[in-house]
Amino acid sequence: MRIGIGIDTGGTYTDAVIYDFDQKEILHSAKSLTTRDNLSKGIGGALDGLSKDLLKQAELVSLSTTLATNACVEEKGGRGKLIFIGADREVVDRTGKLYGLPDSREIFFVEGEVSLSGEIVKEPDWDKFVKDCKEQLKDVDAVAVVQQAGVWNHECETKAKVLIEKNYGLNTICGHELFSDLNYIKRGASALLNARLIPVIAEFLESIKYALEARGISAPVVIVRGDGSLMSERFTTVRPVETLLSGPAASVKGGVELTLEQDCLIIDMGGTTTDLAIIQDGIPVKAENGVAVGKWRTFVKAVYIDTFGLGGDSAIRYNRFGTPIELLSARVVPLCIAAATWPIVTDKLELLVKSGISSSNDAGDFFYLVKEPTNPSYYTEMEMALCQALKTEPRIPSELAAELQIKPYQLPLERLEKEGIIMRCGLTPTDIMHVKGDFDRFDRKASRLGVEYAAKYLRITADQLADLVYEKVKFTLYANILRISLAHTYPDFKSKGVPVEFDRLIRKNWDAAKTSMNKNLLNVDFSIPYTLVGIGAPIHVFLPDVAKALHTHYVIPENASVANALGAVVGNISATTVVEIHQEQDQPYIVFGKSRNYYTMDMDEALELAKTEAREVARIEALNRGAVGDIIVTLDIEGAAFPSKSLDSVVTIKVKATANGRILI
């Protein structure tokens, strides 16, 4: 019997399974709260729910996580710095924000130029570069270096990396090490995101290592990439951006494994986000041009997964003078969970309700200290004072403001929240589920008090508020399923977005689905022929009504709540590389290789050079990711000759090699 352990660390829960590779079945499963202040506690809690004897027999530990995805959605992460060599600042100003880049004043621009044929036209002034780095790289965790034409010649990227690591000891990644795609703005955004995620994933891997060693588990560790394949622990520390959509990709594999549905939508509702993937003929649809998460548009190749901010821990915001209930994409700790950890939360909520004072939104939220700042000099005196005030227990804004002698709206919360130093607790759908009796794992009294406080402000009953939240969750799920389905069916909607008129139509259809009374002159009814496969702890509460409104059926499989952990352990290694051949009129064919460029006047020779280069690079990449045994490499060739304004024709040929290997022999 060959045993593997699958672990998924989500924003709210950490799941674990013991899997029998020979019988292809789950032997044990367990679930524990994710402990963001110390991830090893939550991971250890899940492992402790499994058979100790089987744990020590494990030959492999495979991990999936939503931490990188959640960091993008919640705008959290380390302090990364992007260095652009040869970039046009005006182009960056005009288009950078479309891909998630910060203001250009936060980017380090360096002069340098590489021609379209891969020749260095102008090399940076390296002495000046090293000197300028002292100011540019202060207070930075990691660095991304991207040359405007670095996919054709990456010598300058590589030299910049060597100089930074030698003189400043900072973790540095080059754009060409991550992606071979041309759009340097998007490449820059992807590389910067990689730098920001390095401390996030490093903390995760340290927690995993600690939890495994404490339980005598010595099996090798691998991590799920966004395309559902696996990579080694060492590889992950360098390329954490490839864990984007790791958790959702694992849930897709797990959902397909559990249901064997050939045409379906996999809907994974977690604590922070809901992820939706499309399965056609048993194969997940892939993202053609890289994935987008939150504000970031990247070149990360992955299963096509649409992630939107909706989960059990979505922050509920209420307003008496507009839309009464809104669900924010930001995750907060549910009041019921906070009170289970700190009973004083319930006491303070009771005092708030009894006070007779009602206010909107965060007046009833709590804040607690997740971790102390590692470098106090990075923060203001007021930020440090706020951290000091949270050392003993969670507090509401009015308490903090009184201690710091400022108004509540002056509290310096934003940066501390974004960097994960402090965490917010507030009213969430998980609390509403406790009030309605659909979930009862934590402190129901705290949830009820939070609902009473919000309902009092809105001048409605607690039951009415709970119904409004359920209605909001269901409609948000319904609307996003339709938005994604429309975009997949009609490509214009994917590139340009679904027109606002459709939003109104979607709303009308949802309202009509809840009643048999419909007196519209024209009825447009949406239906989806695909099965809705529900994954994740809260999904069973909301999916039935959504499926009914879409005139389809749904499946919530056994072990649905640990599908991510199952998906993590059933994957293998896959690595893809693309080598491009380029020729203009009577000029030589240029083969843009990984380590060097090749020039030849013979087309057949250029093609053979490209094939050899692509095969070898893909094979080495698979080995670096942890493949063992025989590695199978397949080739795919795309070619085109097209007119040029100044030349008779331009030839571009792409040779794509995909290497597949096993993680276990």
Minimal CA–CA distance to 85: which of 112, 103, 121?
112
* Across 46-55, 175-184, 341-350, least confident range: 175-184
pLDDT at 639 over 70: yes
| Residue 67 confidence (pLDDT) | 82
Task: Dig out the tokens for 444 from the structure.
Answer: 């129901």
> Residue 132 maps to which CATH number?
3.40.50
Decide which of 179, 197, 215 is a domain's last residue.
197
Residue 456 has pLDDT above 50, yes or no: yes
Indicate the pLDDT class of residue 475, thresholds 50, 70 and 90.
Answer: very high
Statement: residue 530 has pLDDT above 90: yes
Averaged pLDDT, 279-305 = 86
Is the predicted pLDDT of residue 645 greater than 50, yes or no? no
Residue-wise pLDDT for 598-618, tens only, equals 999 998 899 999 999 999 999
Q: What number is the average pLDDT over the span 47-56?
A: 92
| Cβ neighbourhood burial of 648 (10 Å; 0-12, 13-18, 19+) | exposed
Residue 335 is assigned to a structural domain of this protein:
yes
Using 50, 70 and 90 to split pLDDT, how confident is the model at 361?
low
Residues 515 and 624 reside in one and the same domain: no
In a domain, 627, yes or no: yes
Q: Are residues 512 and 369 in the same domain?
A: yes
Q: Is the domain of 345 the same as that of 493?
A: yes
For the segment 131-155, the average pLDDT, to the nearest whole number, is 92
Quickly count: other Cβ atoms within 10 Å of residue 331's Cβ.
27
Do 578 and 507 have their domain in common?
Answer: no
Instruction: Let me know if residue 124 belongs to a domain.
Output: yes
Stretch 225-238: mean pLDDT = 88
The CA distance from 88 to 74, in Å, is: 29
In-domain check, residue 220: no
> Does the pLDDT value for residue 644 go beyond 50?
no
What CA–CA distance (Å, rounded) separates 170 from 149? 24
Based on the domain organization, do 395 and 521 belong to the same domain? Answer: yes
What pLDDT is attached to residue 194?
93
Is there a single domain that holds both residue 617 and residue 523? no
The mean pLDDT of 292-320, rounded to a whole number, is: 88
Q: Give the pTM.
A: 0.73
Q: What's the rounded mean pLDDT across residues 428-455?
A: 95
CB 532 within 8 A of CB 547: yes
402 within some domain:
yes
- DSSP-based three-state secondary structure for 638: strand
Instruction: Note the pLDDT of residue 640.
Output: 60
Tell me: do 503 and 587 sit in the same domain.
Answer: no
Q: Which of 197, 220, 237 is the last residue of a domain?
A: 197
Q: What pLDDT shows up at residue 520?
A: 66
Asked if residue 52 has pLDDT above 60, the reply is yes
Report the residue count for the chain.
665
Together in a domain, 425 and 507: yes
pLDDT band (50, 70, 90) for residue 646: very low
Mean pLDDT, rounded, of the chain: 89
Q: Is the pLDDT of residue 122 over 60?
A: yes
Cα 380–chain centre separation: 30
pLDDT of residue 575: 87
Whether residues 586 and 499 share a domain: the answer is no
**Number of domains present in the structure of the chain:** 3
Among the ranges given (178-182, 495-499, 547-551), the one the predictor scored with the smallest mean pLDDT: 495-499
Query: Is the pLDDT confidence value at 353 over 50?
Result: yes
Q: Is residue 307 part of a domain?
A: no
Do residues 325 and 388 both lie within one domain? yes
What is the span of the domain harbouring residue 153?
Answer: 80-197
The SS3 assignment for 264 reads strand
* pLDDT of 358 over the 80 cut: no
Give the pLDDT band of residue 428 (cuts 50, 70, 90). Answer: very high
Binned at pLDDT 50, 70 and 90, residue 648 comes out as low
Name the band, by pLDDT with cuts 50, 70 and 90, for residue 416: very high
φ and ψ of 379, to 5 deg: -115, 160
pLDDT level of residue 647 (50, 70, 90 thresholds): very low
Chain centroid offset of residue 20 CA:
29
The set of residues, in sequence order, having a beta carbon less than 8 Å from that of 553 and lying 6+ positions away, is 531, 532, 547
Residue 27 has pLDDT above 50, yes or no: yes
The CATH number of whichever domain residue 643 belongs to comes to 3.30.110
Closest CA to 29 of 12, 44, 46: 46
| Lowest model confidence (mean pLDDT) among 148-157, 498-507, 640-649 | 640-649
Domain annotation covers residue 171: yes
Same domain, 517 and 603: no
Q: Looking at residues 102-117, what average pLDDT do you find? A: 92
Among 529, 563, 588, identify where a domain stops.
529
107 and 189 belong to one structural domain: yes
pLDDT above 70 (res 322): yes
At residue 495, the pLDDT reads 66
pLDDT in tens, 233-267: 888 888 999 988 888 889 898 988 889 889 999 99
Question: Is residue 68, in this structure, part of any structural domain at all?
Answer: no
